[in-house]
Amino acid sequence: MAFSSLKGASSGLIAVLKKGSRIGRRKTAVSVPKLEPAKNTIASLAPLTKIISKYLDPVDVERVREAYKLADEAHLGQFRSSGEPYITHPIAVTEICAGWKLDADSLMAALLHDVIEDQDVSKQELAEKFGTDVAEIVDGVSKLERLQFETKSQQQAESFRKMLLAMSRDVRVILIKLADRLHNMRTLDAVSPEKQRRIAKETLEIYAPIAHRLGINALFRELQDRCFQAIYPNRYRVLHKALLAARGNRRDALGKITDAVQAALPAAGIEAEISGREKSLYSIFCKMAEQKKSFSDVLDIYGFRIIVHTLPECYLALGTLHQLYRPVPGKFKDYIAIPKINGYQSLHTTLIGPYGTPVEFQIRTHEMDHVAEEGVASHWLYKDDDVSLNELQKRTHRWLQSLLDIQSQTGDSSEFLDHVKVDLFPDAVYVNTPRGKIISLPKGATPIDFAYTIHSDIGNHAVAAKVNEEYVSLRSELKSGDLVEIITSPAARPSAQWLNHVRTGRARSEIRHYLRTVQYEESVAFGRRLLKQALSELGIDMPEDNDPTWENLAKNSGAASREEILADIGLGKRLAAVVARRFISNNPLLETTATAVDEYTSNIRAPVVIHGNEGQAVQLAPCCGPLPGDAIIGGIRMGHGLVVHMAECAVAQRQQAKEPERWIPVIWDTTTARHLSTRLDVTALNERGVLGRLAATITDADSNILHVTMPDEDGATAHLHLTLQVDSRNHLAQVIRSMRQVPQVQKIVRVKGTNS
């Protein structure tokens, strides 16, 4: 959830919380989610040494000691906001990493993670003393404090970009950074409330989603709760009290469930560990805000986790529980057969327990539980170059690789960060390709996202989609279980409108990259055509690319280069008529005047030839959908290039009357692009199967339906609005003749324009 949506969740939320809370003091076995600040610690390496000695050999332990000596020396005399020696922070960060059993290089980098940033220790020095890997990790974790940026947000964005790219090369960078952020959140009470909120917002927007994306759920939940406590301290306190009261009220029900499950599972021959758990305060808060419920209305705040030894026992335990209590329909999820995008596996089911209270059960193996809590960090010790990557590591690798793909197409750090934020969705839908492969996409994803996930070329040339064997709009929202197929065309191009409907960072990045590069190249090429034609009308040859006139023209018109001038002409930002006159011998650079424009437009003889596949530089107006064979006119629209309309289009006629200087004659080329779109309004008898017969007829006529709408009507006739792909006006006539053969069809009208 975006942070801004939380802020306005409910003005009376605290009152709602109080209304649903009764303070109780009875104890239970379930742990209290109260988040205490970290206690002051003495700067000692002994606790860390004790932890790492259990899984590292003595040589590596000694290497970690050497790194500690340098860190201690570098931070000597430096103190944290709490008054503690600064060295306590890198030690605490390293202890968190040791809890994940990271390797010696990771622990050394954790101890040294601030020495480049704060103490002027160079990357080269670290490489010479501790090795290249340690130096690279420390450099990846370090921020960019020394570089000059115009704004704080720009500096922050560039720091994130550097960190995420370093992470894409070595995941240990982000693991150390997450440990660093966790300790900072645990000691957040030492800074001002304003700074607490700023750090908490940043953590909630970036670091918590990354932890979730990497499957480190224990860290993810703690970061969320600590952010909640820092941003909304009063709401946190009230909700915490309400949870304590509810725990006491429901203790009897939870005890009965525990006793019943502990008896039922062994009777079925299943040896299992059973533990009770509470939802995090932040997740309860989000549910209350999203569903506009009071705390007393949120019933499923408790759950049980059942951990068994083998995968078959997961399903056997599920069947045993369903015999014990009635399951809630629609609340069963099998994340074992289809794991979450971050590798999480478990069976989820919600049952109606004693007193009608819904209780969620999670069933998993010990290995699944380890992965569920620690994610990609859980398998670090098992990493072996001689062993193939497990599924979790493969998923992580694919995501990290996608960061590099996005970076290669994004020059601006803020834009890169926006793409990554879009990609950090906690929820996902799972759809199928025609070959049966399961693709994971963020909730709200569309066929456009699906197409770019398969391959950028498929996304760039997508024209339509079939979901579960039925044609749908490219903007339709996909649901789990959908079978998705993308229809492509060589003539198709991405549209800027797609940016309003995509949910993945990759799709957004690919579309923007295409629009920036291809549109620019197409605009340059089309601008050259327009300028060449304008020059020929003046009896002047097109100057060579190295002609010094270009440089003078660019300098006096505020352009950076010859290409920029041509692109501006192609996009309609400059008129070819005016630019052409500046190439007349012994003629000073003229300003854009209505007289010059009128003089040029009145003398134009040769129209611009339209192929239909020029791309973004030449667009066929959607209001009338001109086709080869139609009489057409062209209007130069500022920033969009040439827009081609049918000559009889009412929209074009009105615009031409307002700005005649921007309209030029155009004609179709003898060979035009295939698969152009046009619209038809069809009136037919409202009988079962008529749409299917029409679709089959259109396909047989070598056409394709891009979009269809049919208003809900109960009468004898139905009105269908179709958007079809055809090659020309003649092809359209053939399609219409075929459609008239369907007995139910009464009337077919081509939509040639609009009065809007």
- Give the residue-averaged pLDDT of 64-77: 89
Indicate which CATH number applies to the domain containing 166: 1.10.3210.10
Q: What is the pLDDT of residues 147-184, one digit of tens each?
A: 444 555 665 666 666 666 666 677 788 888 889 999 99
Which phi and psi angles does 178 have, rounded to 5°? -65, -40
Please check whether residue 384 lies inside any domain of the structure: no
Residue span of the structural domain in which 681 resides: 676-750
Whether residues 225 and 241 share a domain: the answer is no
Q: Which residue has the higher pLDDT, 402 or 721?
A: 721
Please check whether residue 477 lies inside any domain of the structure: no
pLDDT score of 27: 32
Whether residues 58 and 199 share a domain: the answer is yes
Q: 402 pLDDT band (50/70/90 cuts)?
A: low
Query: Number of structural domains, the chain?
Result: 4
What value, to the nearest 5°, has the Cα angle with vertex 382 and ends 379 and 383?
90
The answer to whether 205 is a known catalytic residue is no
225, burial (CB in 10 Å: exposed 0-12, middle 13-18, buried 19+): buried
Cα torsion angle, 592, 596, 600, 601, sign: positive
Please check whether residue 394 lies inside any domain of the structure: no
What value, to the nearest 5°, has the Cα angle with vertex 674 and ends 670 and 679?
110
Whether residues 627 and 710 share a domain: the answer is no
| Of the residues 180, 211, 230, the one at which a domain ends | 230
Please check whether residue 385 lies inside any domain of the structure: no
Whether residues 131 and 152 share a domain: the answer is yes
Q: What percent of the chain has pLDDT over 70?
A: 74
Amino acid at 167: M
| Of the residues 360, 377, 394, the one at which a domain ends | 377
Whether residues 243 and 339 share a domain: the answer is yes
Of 257-266, 326-335, 377-386, the least confident: 377-386
In the set 60, 118, 125, 702, the catalytic residue is 118
Does residue 338 contact residue 438 with C-beta atoms inside 8 Å?
A: yes
What value, to the nearest 5°, has the Cα angle with vertex 281 and ends 280 and 284?
90
In the set 117, 202, 648, 661, the catalytic residue is 117
Of 245-254, 518-527, 654-663, the least confident: 245-254
Q: What is the pLDDT of residues 201-217, one digit of tens each?
A: 888 888 888 888 777 88
Of 28-42, 550-564, 686-700, the least confident: 28-42
Whether residues 606 and 535 share a domain: the answer is yes
d(CA 626, CA 642): 13
In the structure encoding, which two tokens stand for residue 275, read together? 């533990």
Please check whether residue 479 lies inside any domain of the structure: no
Residue 650 above 50 pLDDT? Answer: yes
Q: What is the pLDDT of residues 498-509, one digit of tens each?
A: 888 888 878 888
Whether residues 11 and 59 share a domain: the answer is no
Please check whether residue 357 lies inside any domain of the structure: yes
Q: What is the mean pLDDT of the chain?
A: 76
Nearest to 526 by CA among 595, 574, 561, 481: 574
Select, from the ranges 24-38, 270-284, 693-707, 735-749, the one with the highest average predicted confidence (pLDDT): 735-749
| Of the residues 651, 668, 685, the one at which a domain ends | 668
Whether residues 602 and 516 share a domain: the answer is yes
Its pTM stands at 0.54
Indicate which CATH number applies to the domain containing 713: 3.30.70.260
Residue 146 above 70 pLDDT? Answer: no
**Those residues with Cβ within 8 angstroms of residue 314's Cβ, 6 or more apart along the chain or in another chain:** 308, 336, 347, 363, 364, 365
Any idea of the CA torsion for 214, 219, 222, 228, to the nearest 10 degrees? -30
Residue 259 above 70 pLDDT? Answer: yes
Does residue 353 contact residue 325 with C-beta atoms inside 8 Å?
A: yes
Residue 572 above 60 pLDDT? Answer: yes
Please check whether residue 491 lies inside any domain of the structure: no
Which phi and psi angles does 224 have, rounded to 5°? -60, -45
Whether residues 58 and 206 share a domain: the answer is yes
d(CA 316, CA 269): 9
Amino acid at 461: H
Select, from the ranges 18-32, 307-321, 384-398, 653-667, the one with the highest average predicted confidence (pLDDT): 307-321
Q: Is 618 helix (H, G, I), strand (E, B) or coil?
A: strand
Q: 424 pLDDT band (50/70/90 cuts)?
A: low
Residue 108 above 90 pLDDT? Answer: yes
Whether residues 91 and 211 share a domain: the answer is yes
Nearest to 360 by CA among 304, 416, 309: 304
Q: How many helices (DSSP H) and strands (DSSP E) are in the chain?
A: 31, 20
**Those residues with Cβ within 8 angstroms of residue 53's Cβ, 6 or more apart along the chain or in another chain:** 61
The answer to whether 391 is a known catalytic residue is no
Q: What is the pLDDT of residues 610-645, one digit of tens each?
A: 776 655 567 788 788 888 888 888 887 765 667 888
Whether residues 262 and 215 share a domain: the answer is no
- The number of beta carbons lying within 10 Å of the beta carbon of residue 700 is 10
Indicate which CATH number applies to the domain containing 292: 3.30.460.10
pLDDT score of 422: 54
Q: 753 pLDDT band (50/70/90 cuts)?
A: low
Please check whether residue 155 lies inside any domain of the structure: yes
Residue 359 above 60 pLDDT? Answer: yes
Q: What is the pLDDT of residues 218-240, one digit of tens each?
A: 888 899 999 999 999 998 888 88
Whether residues 599 and 722 share a domain: the answer is no
Does residue 288 contact residue 243 with C-beta atoms inside 8 Å?
A: no
Does residue 16 contact residue 288 with C-beta atoms inside 8 Å?
A: yes
